[in-house]
Amino acid sequence: MSDCLFCKIAGGEIPVEFVYEDDDVVAFRDINPQAPLHTLVVPRRHIATLNDVQPEDAELIGRMYLAAQRVAADAGVAEPGYRTVFNCNAQAGQTVFHLHLHVLGGRAMQWPPG
pLDDT digits (tens, 9 = 90+) for 40-77: 999 999 999 999 999 999 999 999 999 999 999 999 99
Residue 35 predicted with pLDDT over 70: yes
Concatenating the DSSP letter of every residue in the chain gives -TT-HHHHHHTTSS---EEEE-SSEEEEE-SS-SSSEEEEEEESS---SGGG--GGGHHHHHHHHHHHHHHHHHHT-TTT-EEEEE--SGGGT--SSS--EEEEESSPPPSS--
From the list 46, 98, 100, 102, the catalytic residue is 100
Let me know if 100 is a catalytic residue: yes
What average pLDDT is seen over the chain? Answer: 96
